[in-house]
């Protein structure tokens, strides 16, 4: 098994600031990939407090 890692990068482009996140985890199941960017989506089912796509797509 590979040693776990996470990598975060931030850079500026002419019309945007970009945040890139990568890891070697199992990934998001195909059925949930669009849900991740919905406002309020969270892995914590009891609370829906995540900013989700409303921040990432703004």
- Tell me if 50 is assigned to some domain: yes
Any idea how long the chain is? Answer: 58
- Tell me if 1 is assigned to some domain: no
* Cα–Cα dist 57/36, whole Å: 11
- Segment 12-37 mean pLDDT: 90
Residue 14 scores a pLDDT above 80:
yes
Write out the residue range of the structural domain in which residue 18 sits: 6-56
Domain count, the chain: 1
Who wins on pLDDT, 47 or 31?
Answer: 31
* Cα–Cα dist 54/18, whole Å: 15
- Tell me if 19 is assigned to some domain: yes
- Tell me if 46 is assigned to some domain: yes
Residue 43 scores a pLDDT above 90:
no
């Amino acid at each position: 098994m590979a040693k776990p890692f996470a990598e975060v990068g931030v850079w500026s482009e002419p019309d945007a600031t970009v945040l890139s996140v990568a890891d070697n985890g199992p990934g998001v199941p195909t059925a949930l990939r669009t849900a991740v960017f919905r406002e309020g989506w969270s892995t914590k089912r009891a609370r829906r407090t995540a900013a989700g796509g409303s921040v990432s797509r703004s």
